[in-house]
Amino acid sequence: MAMPMQVSLDEILSMLLARVDSLVLSDENSKSKFNIITRVLYKKGILTDEDVMESIREEHRVLLGLGLITEEPDEDTVKAISESILQWIKGDVDALKKGMEEYERRLQENMNRQAQKPKIDVASPAVLQQLNRMGGKQGGGKIIL
């Protein structure tokens, strides 16, 4: 009779993290290949700026048809998405860096705004039971300031 195999939580987590790392590397490899092929197509003139814009419109039509979005983006939004994709395809490092800096700045602003908002902490049931034991037999909730 075979003995059941025991696996510790650490071993399970290590296996899962190794698998996630593998998936991340595979995803990065796929992205890199896609970027290379797309740049080749663009440089050969097979893929044009208008092709990118039309593909964005088509993608949003499909998403709308599937009910995943409620409306198609306006032309300005399509153009902004197209410019972002084309910056990557063209390898416009300066524009990409500027976009990343702008994104990081907005992210930092949002984090600062979140930090300034008041917080509401909720005590766990164990803490509430401990307070009830300390305070005697009183009904109702406890507000701690």
Q: What pLDDT is recorded for position 119?
A: 77
Q: Rounded to whole angstroms, how far apart are CA atoms 15 and 20?
A: 9
**Percent share of the chain, pLDDT over 90:** 65
C-alpha closest to that of 84 among 102, 69, 58: 102
DSSP 8-state class, residue 71: S
Q: Rounded to whole angstroms, how far apart are CA atoms 87 and 89?
A: 6
Q: What pLDDT is recorded for position 56?
A: 96
- What residue ranges of the chain have pLDDT lower than 50? none
Which residues touch 4 (CB under 8 Å, ≥6 apart)?
A: none
In the chain, the amino acid numbered 60 is H
pTM of the model: 0.59
